[in-house]
Amino acid sequence: MPSTDLLPSLLFKINENQLALEAAIMELTLWVEQRGSADVAENVRSALVTIDRNEEFIKMSLAVLMAPE
């Protein structure tokens, strides 16, 4: 298998990891917020906005890369 064939799969897995990390961080954010650190929770949510903002572009790019030629 040529290494260029691995690129779409690699990018898919990286994106999958990114989304899993986002979910885990959000769980921790909720836990922190429930314990009275609303400022910290809001800062984390603000940082996670970047992941959300880029998610649609990443999905579209992966669809193009993985589309049969």
In angstroms, the CA 24 to CA 30 distance is 10
Q: What is the pLDDT of residues 52-69, one digit of tens each?
A: 899 889 888 888 887 876
The pLDDT of residue 3 is above 80: no
Q: What is the pLDDT of residue 1?
A: 59
* Structural domain containing residue 31: 3-66
3-state secondary structure of 22: helix
DSSP 44: H
Q: What is the pLDDT of residues 7-44, one digit of tens each?
A: 888 888 999 999 999 999 999 999 999 999 999 999 99
Q: What are phi and psi of 36, to 5 degrees?
A: 95, 10
Q: What is the pTM of this model?
A: 0.75
Question: Looking at the 3D structure of the chain, how many domains does it have?
Answer: 1
